[in-house]
Amino acid sequence: MEEIRTDICVIGAGSGGLSVAAGAVQMGARVVLLEGHRMGGDCLNYGCVPSKALLAAGKVAQAHRSGTPFGIPPQEPQIDYGAAMEHVSRTIAAIAPHDSVERFEGLGVRVISAYGQFDSPTSVITGQHRITARRFVIATGSSPLVPPIPGLEGVPCLTNETLFDLRTRPEHLLIIGGGPIGMEMAQAHRRLGCAVSVVEGATALGREDPEAAALVLAQLRAEGVRVLEGAEVVRVGGQAGALSLTLADGAQINGSHLLVAVGRKPNLERLNLKAAGIAHTKAGITVDDRLRSSNRRVYAIGDVAGQGQFTHLAGYHAGVVIRSMLFALPARARAGHIPHVTYTEPELAQVGLTEAEARAAHGERLQVIRLGYDATDRAQAEGRTGGFIKLMVLKGRPVGVTLAGPGAGELIAIWAFMVANRTKLGALAGTILPYPTLNELSKRAAGAYFSPKLFDNPVVRRVVGLVQRLVP
């Protein structure tokens, strides 16, 4: 067994782990990176990248059906599902070199293609190597959670890790789970010609602002996606190509394929955390606000830290631990400024508090501003006026923003900046934006905060009147 001594050992080559490895080695640290599966992790291979590529294919198909308002007769497109999935594969392949073993070895990282497990508080073994390090970063991510529904273990089912291997279009895709993954894949497959039924035990998109979620769900239903809420699946039956879901009320739904999208679980099983004295729960490794575990040599970032399951959160965590490990700075992770997006059409984006959370936290001190997309000329010109921005303001600063509508994932960027930096609304209200753009919606929302203070203020009116009478 080869003995390796290093400054930092990173376990897991997903988004967070790669960011730590690249940043640390380029600033002079010795780095060993362990990955037993695929470089790039879930985001590149099974998550963000392939799902958005498939959504893009569905969007092109839907454009053929949606031309009537522009004088273009609608037509049902001829869809090659296998070719759409090949687009997904090409997209992954185009991005993969950036996350490759070759690139990281070129940076100076020692990459070992194996899973690692702790055999002491200061070392990890792979079978062929024992790595002793001053600091460890666990970045093993998460995996699809498959619930213990009777009969599920005996039928073929898909998760996000196997869905993109399909090349033949499902006739009727059944989806258990109405969260972001379930709803994104429901819309993509419906637009690519599949019948789709989503079964959600509680409320679809239940963690989002209810008004924003309702806008998304209305569009999916209008496109023909069947969404059942408050519907618990109590049994799964059938065989490949002929599957059935039995609900608690006795109803049965039949389909050809089944996608399970009920959530994710942290990847902890292979790590032998007990040997390293690392505390954890079902949600992930227990960390403090510096992302340090109960073993002070070991940090956890991204999904496995149990604080959220977003690629950009893992990247943010990477920056926090790099500052701590390399520069001994008291860097601490925050959570309230992390945005997230559901990439359906319309998109749903959120940063900071939702309206309900903000009202609970701030009561009558809170001001809520709501504007529709129809307030912008660009949205009118493109016929994309279905949507809104909801701005939660406390003492002139945004504490939360909800966007639901076309391009919401892009429009949330300026608000993520403002929430993260505690920027006042005056900064945006005074910014000159190009006309016509959808971003004018954000500026109009900021301006709407000041309008009553200027236009409905009797003091302002008196001052203006005096100036007009007295100043030559």
The fraction of the chain above a pLDDT of 90, given in percent, is 94
The residues pairing with 252 across neighbouring beta strands, listed in sequence order, are 246
Predicted confidence band at 224 (pLDDT cuts at 50, 70, 90)? very high
Question: Is 467 contained in some domain?
Answer: no
pTM here is 0.94
Statement to judge: residues 272 and 123 lie in one domain: yes
Identify the pLDDT of residue 472. Answer: 79
Statement to judge: residues 6 and 59 lie in one domain: yes
What does the alpha-carbon distance between residue 208 and residue 194 come to, in Å, rounded to a whole number? 26
Question: Is 464 contained in some domain?
Answer: no
Q: What is the pLDDT of residues 362-373, one digit of tens each?
A: 999 999 999 999
Statement to judge: residues 251 and 156 lie in one domain: yes
Statement to judge: residues 126 and 269 lie in one domain: yes
Q: What angle do CA 46, 49, 54 make, to 5 degrees?
A: 90
List C-alpha distances in Å: 290 to 123, 346, 421, 438: 21, 36, 19, 38
* Segments forming the whole domain that contains residue 387: 346-455
Number of domains in the chain: 3
Statement to judge: residues 271 and 390 lie in one domain: no
Where residue 364 sits, what CATH number does that domain have? Answer: 3.30.390.30
Statement to judge: residues 101 and 35 lie in one domain: yes
Statement to judge: residues 94 and 216 lie in one domain: no
Statement to judge: residues 366 and 297 lie in one domain: no
Statement to judge: residues 131 and 158 lie in one domain: no
Q: What is the mean pLDDT of residues 436-445?
A: 97
Question: Is 338 contained in some domain?
Answer: no
Statement to judge: residues 157 and 241 lie in one domain: yes
Question: Is 118 contained in some domain?
Answer: yes
Question: Is 18 contained in some domain?
Answer: yes
User: Is pLDDT above 80 for 157?
Assistant: yes
Statement to judge: residues 94 and 181 lie in one domain: no
Question: Is 275 contained in some domain?
Answer: yes
User: Is pLDDT above 90 for 421?
Assistant: yes
Question: Is 339 contained in some domain?
Answer: no
Predicted confidence band at 458 (pLDDT cuts at 50, 70, 90)? confident
Identify the pLDDT of residue 441. Answer: 97
What does the alpha-carbon distance between residue 124 and residue 114 come to, in Å, rounded to a whole number? 11
Question: Is 364 contained in some domain?
Answer: yes
Place of tokens 């923003």: 401
Predicted confidence band at 400 (pLDDT cuts at 50, 70, 90)? very high
Where residue 185 sits, what CATH number does that domain have? Answer: 3.50.50.60
Q: What is the mean pLDDT of residues 141-145?
A: 96
Statement to judge: residues 288 and 139 lie in one domain: yes
